[in-house]
Amino acid sequence: MLKPQINHRSQSTKTLFPFENSFLHGNGGQFFLLRVQSRPSSSNKASKVRVGFSSNIKAISIPFTGRNNNFTKVKAVVTVKRTIGSIVSDVTLTPGDIKDLVGRSLQLELVSAELDPKGLEKETVKDFAARDILASDGNDITYRAEFKVPLDFGDVGAIYVKNEHNLEFFLKDVVLEGFPNGPINIACDSWIQPKFKNEKRVFFTTKSYLPDKTPTGLERLRGEELEKLRGNGQGKRGFSDRIYDYDVYNDFGDPDSNPDLARPVLGGTEQYPYPRRCRTGRHRSRKDPNLEKRDDLLFYVPRDESFSGIKTLQFGAKAIYSVLHSLIPTLTSAIVDPDRGFPHFTEIDKLFNEGVDLPQKSKTSLINVIPRLVKGVADTAQSILKFETPEAMDRDKFFWLRDDEFARQTLAGLNPYSLELVTEWPLKSTLDPEIYGPPESAITKEIIEQEIKGFMTLELAIEQKKLFMLDYHDLFLPYVEKVREVKDIVLYGSRTIFFLNPDGTLRPLAIELVRPPIHGKPQWKRVYTPSWHSTEGWLWRHAKAHVLATDSTYHQLVAHWLRTHCCTEPYIIATNRQLSAMHPIHRLLNPHFRYTMEINALARNALVNAEGIIESTFSSNKYSTEYSSFVYGKKWRFDHEGLPNDLISRGLAIEDPSAPHGLKLTIEDHPFANDGLVLWDSMKEWFTDYVNHYYPNPSLIKSDKELQAWWSEIRNVGHGDKKDEPWWPVLETPEDLIEIITTIAWVTSGHHAAVNFGQYTYGGYFPNRPTIARTTMPDEDPTEEKWKFFLNKPERVLLNSFPSQMQATKVMTILDVLSSHSPDEEYIGDVPEPSWKDEPVIKAAFERYNGRMKEFEGIIDDRNANEDLKNRNGAGMMPYELLKPFSKPGVTGKGVPNSISI
């Protein structure tokens, strides 16, 4: 008898891509083995057992043993997600793999929720699942099993799954049919590791339980599963691990490859406070033992946090990875002089009209991954990088020049998180005057009153809440000298003052730019105002460009990276470490955490790392992550992360029980605030229904040991550098819990959507939001030659201050990808989780939530059509849709996903 040829596989984890031509079929309790007879190789008498269909196939029926009066026949339908990759169609089997052919590659065990009369766990009920080719479709693969369940088994509380195959696969769910009370659903959504990992996974039914309500038969499993996810804090994490643990950010730099790439450790010190990230356990740097080596192509995240399915193929990690590791190097070779700017505005227009020629070798690798950006040239092997015209520019080519649009975007643009009310005068810095110079602002009462031209006095404007400010003075001045040491980067501390017009729009009044004492020169400061004179008008445009570069840096590093991506990671880690998968709050928050850890790891790999996209294209340069730490220490407060408290803290709203949403807005026509508060209240109402169902007695909050450990870990470990702050909310009542989880969910959904999905719309035409300023103001210590050139060529001087061609194309490329929605995006209030559908009260509450989201779509449309709302309706103006809940795939400038998935 011929023996199968043994083909030993590597012990590295690989993904099982389900077979197109199935070799196994289960039907009505009978398994059919398809035997393929193969001819021995002429060079080797041993033959291979092949998987597939053949005219020589013979079917062997293996009957099920049946049932009797002591058992109930229960069928299991198992759904395995077809993951992205080449489909395995030809498998060489080892002797141990022969059992795959008879339906023994997927072992299932039913776990009773009850103990037996002796107080012991009941014996599990086992079976193997076989693939059903008739039930499988293009996206999912179906397996079936049939159990003989003893009549005294009790309720099924969980299921064990063991993968007897050599490859991992993604298990979507298991449905058990045949019980008198209807099907039992077990949502898995998890990667199951291959047999050589010797891992038996447990998944609980969709029934949620507080810790002290856990069925007795599941108590041990509940505790053991949490212990597995916590790990022991030792060793290097591997690709297939599911361990959640904390570490400081000690992997932004890479001094082993270049001493100039050393970056400070963020977190764990008073000097550099920071949230915690997921621990990877990599080896230490040779040059600095405080840092981890960046020796992996992709950073570790727990296996179930990684992308799966369509998102991996078209968007998310794969698209960003292609941009960072393929397109950017290609651009570097295509653009000969990386420091060359744009000599004329028509050269910028060519990026949209003609594109940038790419080397021929890039066409195959990129054109299929990012077809919106990389396009083939007909009848040639050439490909080009050609940008789509951003919608804001398409509506009004000169939108970026207008002062009213400059002001409007502080309320309805990409960064609505910086504008604040002016409440005191004169403006004064809190920085040390011995280091940074005189603290008084150069913006005087006379300047303000001259600009508002008799509307009112300065005092009355402050009293009536008419003056607002972008205050980047104290937040950037400490970095001005550091940044200016880097070639071709200029930074200022700045203040920009706006006046609220009677029609509800904002008008910019003055910009103050400040340079601290530097290189033996005294402090320099200058105030710029809009002017009818050409020289002052061009200086005003230069000043706006500097403010916008600063605002872009703050937006990307603070409003976006720090406050959403970075600060959310500790919530995810704590949820998986302290809240069981069957805990109702775990199941409520889980949709808001999907894919975030993977996108954060990718950002650390190539976006916010030393010499990454951010450092090379934004004003903060090599101090970028250090700067975000500086702002975290100065400004971040959990109790101000929710939208209402954020608006109140900036003077943009006051509490008013008689007003909509309980807040009276300082600027009534405030698109971000108005839409955001509808979304916030809708989310909070849903969370209130949910929490009150599971915590009908307020005392249950304090007695929930998992919940209390979760909140304690978020405060004391995940955000441990802030643990002693007095503003942390207590967690004692359902109202406390509702406010906390609404805040967390808002950050991952509404906040992130507002600062992310408009990036290409507003930043794709970079003169509207330059990310860097490369030259000083023309009147900062000018030479005679420099000033004369400015007077003769003011447009050229402005273009020289904008990003270089290399910087601009890199930023535009990444903003396009970051602004895109995946085809499988999961939008807020759209599709309920399985555990919510199986609980009637929760299902009804979610349906109300879904209805509110659909109604909200219409509310936004009506607001954008209202001509009285001049901050969202006008000639050539972008409507405000960034908080519109749903979206089609691609770059749309709308859509609020549940989670930070891009």
- Give the DSSP letter string of 94-127: PGGGGGGGGT-SEEEEEEESSB-TTS-BPPPEEE
d(CA 166, CA 323): 33
From CA 108, how far away is CA 129, in angstroms rounded? 7
What separation in angstroms does the CA of 895 have from each of 749, 823, 865, 883, 888?
Answer: 10, 12, 19, 6, 8
Exposed, middle or buried: residue 66 (CB in 10 Å: 0-12, 13-18, 19+)?
exposed
Would you give the DSSP letter of residue 52?
A: S
SS (H, E, C) 205-267: CCCCCCHHHCCHHHHHHHHHHHHHHHCCCCCCCCCCCCCCCEECECCCCCCCCCHHHCCCCEC
Contacts of 857 (CB under 8 A, 6+ apart): 884, 885, 886
pLDDT at 753: 98
Q: Which helix H or strand E contains 654, and what residues bound it?
A: strand 653-655
Catalytic residue among 546, 560, 640, 661: 560
Would the CA dihedral through 841, 846, 849, 854 be positive or negative?
negative
Neighbours of 201 (CB within 10 A): 18
Task: Please spell the DSSP secondary structure of 399-428, one letter per residue.
Answer: GGG-HHHHHHHHHHSS-TTS-EE--SSS-B
Residue 382 is predicted with a pLDDT of: 67
The pLDDT value recorded for residue 132 is: 81
Triad 772, 778, 784: Cα angle to 5°: 145
In eight-state DSSP terms, residue 387 is P
- Distance, CA of 480 to CA of 770 (rounded, Å): 18
Torsion sign (Cα): 371, 377, 382, 386: negative
560 is catalytic: yes
Is 902 annotated in the active site?
yes
Write down the pLDDT at residue 89.
29
565 labelled catalytic: yes
User: With contact defined as beta carbons under 8 Å apart, do 244 and 573 qualify?
Assistant: yes
Q: Is 670 a catalytic residue?
A: no
Tokens of 511: 């910009």
Selection from 366, 418, 585 nearest residue 375 by Cα: 366
C-beta of residue 311 within 8 angstroms of C-beta of residue 822: yes
Q: Describe the crossing of helices 473-484 and 534-554 by its angle, rounded to 10 degrees.
A: 90
What does the longest C-alpha to C-alpha distance in the chain come to? 104
Residue pair 773/489 in contact by the 8 Å Cβ criterion:
yes
* pLDDT per 10-residue tile (average), the chain, 902 residues: 37 42 33 33 37 32 47 92 44 42 80 95 94 74 92 95 88 92 92 87 97 97 97 92 97 93 96 97 92 81 77 52 67 78 94 82 57 64 83 96 98 98 97 97 97 91 98 98 96 98 97 96 97 96 98 98 98 98 98 94 91 94 98 98 98 96 97 98 98 97 98 98 98 98 98 98 97 97 96 97 94 91 92 95 98 98 98 97 96 97 89
- Long-range CB pairs of 633-639 (<8 Å, 24+ gap) are 633/272, 633/273, 633/721, 634/475, 635/475, 635/558, 636/562, 636/563, 636/567, 636/722, 637/722, 637/725, 637/727, 638/719, 638/722, 638/727, 638/728, 638/729, 638/743, 639/727, 639/728, 639/729
| Among candidate residues 214, 228, 224, 223, the one with its CA nearest the CA of residue 113 | 214
SS3 795: helix
Please count the CA atoms within 13 angstroms of the CA of 143 that sit on its side-chain side: 29
What is the bridge-based pairing of β-strands 156-163 and 374-376?
Answer: unpaired
Where does residue 447 fall: left (phi above 0), alpha (psi -120 to 50 degrees), or beta otherwise?
Answer: alpha
The rounded Cα 766 to chain-centroid distance in angstroms is 23
- 764 touches 816 (CB < 8 A): yes
- Segment holding 854, helix H or strand E: helix 840-865
Distance CA 596, CA 568 (A): 8
Contact 46, 160 (CB under 8 A): no
Tokens for 108, please give them: 């299932």
Q: Is 555 a catalytic residue?
A: no
pTM: 0.90
Which residue among 163, 621, 756, 871 is the active-site one? 756
- Are 744 and 571 in contact by the 8 Å Cβ rule? The answer is yes
Q: Are strands 493-500 and 524-528 parallel, antiparallel or unpaired?
A: unpaired
Q: What's the rounded Cα separation, in Å, for the pair 405 and 395?
A: 13
As given in the structure block, the two tokens for residue 204 are 């609980």
Which candidate in 473, 542, 565, 719 is catalytic? 565
Distance, CA of 112 to CA of 755 (rounded, Å): 47
